């Protein structure tokens, strides 16, 4: 059974090269989201997540909302396994796919095909399997012969189309997103939205960080509101 369980999860970011504490901390605290303090060695730490206890189970469509710096992205990264909680306990059952930075690792000098292998490897796909999918990817992205050209010759929209087509190759179990994806021109947008909706529907848990109340209303069945690293409403 796919599920995510968090119990009292805390995340602290150490800030090095910062000697100033005192007044600056107070000012920063007012201006940005995180709570600042300093640990016993006098090093400044930002508490990004404060005692988060949440449980997500199959069928949950979670909208994570809150101001800038409230800890939304950090929460997603903790779930994806990038940051291990400093305190508390996290249990994830199911394969996580993060659709946050779709073009991460792509190389402008490399051709479209090379980028498919590069991006695909980062996403954990095997080379052989990718080879069999290349024509599908090219068709969906509508790139034609451009796929043999270096990525830098693509327009921004074309690059995003390619990245999107690779990222949506497999059906994720747990899907993490930072805002809803919109890619490409009018034609492609429609096709992409259809595919994205399909994937979201079939995924067993969706967690999306967003600032859009409409999105939460249409897609999500649960909301987690964060403020200064803590859950203030569910």
Partner 1 sequence: MRIFKSGWQDIFAAFKRYELAGVLGWQDIRQRYRRSSLGPFWITISMGVLIGALGLVFGNLFDTPMKEFLPFLTVGLILWTLITTILTEGCTGFTVAEAIIKQISLPLFTHILRVIWRNLIIFGHNIVIYPLVLLVFWLPLRPSAALSVVGLVLLMINLSWIALLLGVLCTRYRDIPQIVSNLLQVCFYLTPIIWMPHLLPKRASLLLLDANPFFHLIEIVRAPLMGTLPSAVNWLVCILLALVGWGVTILFYGRFRSRIAYWL
Which residues contact partner 1 by CB under 8 A? 12-14, 77, 80-84, 96, 98, 100-101, 104-105, 107, 109-110, 114, 117-118, 121-122, 124, 126-127
Within 10 angstroms of residue 19's Cβ, the number of other Cβ atoms is 9
What φ, ψ does residue 74 adopt, rounded to 5°? -60, -40
For 184: left if phi > 0, alpha if psi spans -120 to 50, otherwise beta; the answer is: left
Q: How far apart are the first and last CA of the chain?
A: 23
The β-bridge partners of 82 are none
Q: How far, in Å, CA of 56 to CA of 61, rounded?
A: 9
The DSSP secondary structure of 105-126, one letter per residue, reads: T--TTSBHHHHHHHHHHHTT--
3-state helix, strand, coil in the chain (%, to 5): 40, 30, 30
Query: Shortest approach of partner 1 to residue 86 CB, angstroms?
Result: 8
């Amino acid at each position: 059974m796919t599920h995510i369980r968090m119990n009292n999860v805390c995340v602290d970011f150490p800030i090095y090269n910062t000697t100033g504490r005192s007044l600056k901390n107070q000012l920063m605290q007012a201006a940005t989201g995180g709570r600042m303090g300093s640990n016993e060695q006098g090093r400044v730490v930002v508490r990004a997540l404060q005692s988060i206890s949440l449980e997500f189970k199959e069928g949950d469509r979670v909208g994570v909302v809150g101001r800038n710096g409230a800890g939304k992205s950090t929460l997603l990264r903790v779930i994806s396994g990038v940051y291990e909680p400093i305190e508390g306990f996290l249990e994830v059952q199911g394969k996580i796919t993060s659709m946050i930075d779709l073009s991460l690792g792509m190389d402008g000098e490399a051709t479209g095909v090379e980028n498919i292998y590069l991006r695909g490897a980062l996403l954990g796909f095997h080379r052989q399997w990718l080879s069999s999918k290349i024509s599908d990817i090219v068709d969906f992205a509508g790139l034609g012969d451009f796929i043999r050209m270096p990525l830098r010759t693509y327009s921004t929209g074309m690059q995003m189309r390619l990245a999107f087509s690779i990222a949506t190759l497999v059906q994720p179990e747990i899907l993490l997103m930072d805002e809803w994806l919109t890619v490409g021109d009018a034609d492609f947008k429609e096709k992409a939205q259809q595919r994205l909706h399909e994937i979201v529907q079939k995924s067993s848990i969706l967690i999306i960080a967003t600032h859009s109340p409409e999105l939460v209303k249409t897609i999500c069945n649960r909301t987690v509101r964060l403020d200064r690293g803590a859950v203030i409403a569910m």
